[in-house]
Amino acid sequence: MEGKKNIVFGFLFLVMTASLGPYMVVNLLPDAAKASAAKQQVLSSLQLAVNSDFENQETLETMTAEEIAKANSFAIMAINTNLNARSPIDTIKGGPHAHGNLESILNIAVGLVLGLLTLPALFKQLLSWIFIIGTIAHSGMAFFAVFGFAWANTILGTGIGAIMILLGLLLMGIATVVGYKKS
């Protein structure tokens, strides 16, 4: 069966990309939670200062322009730290995690449909490899890029993986019209 390798590849790639979920929870969310708590504390202090017309809560004197600027700077830095802590999570969620899971399921579906088509074996093999190579060049490279492999960005940046997946989808549509087994 020509689609068997897509089904096997799809399940194995799904395990790899789905494992990014627990990785994010264990390794990235604690830092993001700390940054979020620190941001909340600094913004609460700034809000308290604003609500008290910038009166220092300890001395009950009006805050100087320098103290107000310092409070604002701390708030801006806390917001920036929070955004920077969330960035790796958003990069993984939007890139290799989501695309990898989708392309894994796509490979499984392609493998199943290839088994239902009456087409020459060479055409089925071509379709099969287009999806596998396209997945590796697209979400596979995004997976490597997230973990610091700079060379993966070069391959990912060409867009060849996404183009191959789109080409594969077009060819699968044509192949299904031409070669779907009649019962």
Q: What is the pLDDT of residues 60-106, one digit of tens each?
A: 677 777 877 777 777 777 777 766 666 666 656 666 777 888 899 99
pTM above 0.75, yes or no: no
Answer for the pair 161, 137: CB distance below 8 angstroms, yes or no.
Answer: yes
Neighbours of 47 (CB within 10 A): 11
Report phi then psi at 115, rounded to 5: -70, -20
Cα Rg, the chain, nearest whole Å: 26
Q: Answer yes or no: are the C-beta atoms of 125 and 2 closer than 8 Å.
A: yes
Share of residues in the chain with pLDDT > 90 (%): 33
Question: pLDDT exceeding 70 applies to what percent of the chain?
Answer: 77
Owning domain of residue 41: 4-179
In this predicted structure, the answer to whether residue 43 has a pLDDT above a threshold of 60 is yes
Of residues 52 and 99, which shows the higher confidence score? 99
3-state secondary structure of 64: coil
173: its two tokens: 């549509």
| pLDDT confidence bin for 133, thresholds 50/70/90 | very high
Structural domains counted in the chain:
1
Residue type for position 82: N
How far CA 181 is from CA of 78, 92, 109, 116, in Å, comes to: 61, 40, 16, 6
Among 84, 104, 108, smallest CA distance to 14 is for 104
At residue 141 the predicted structure's pLDDT band, cuts being 50, 70 and 90, is confident
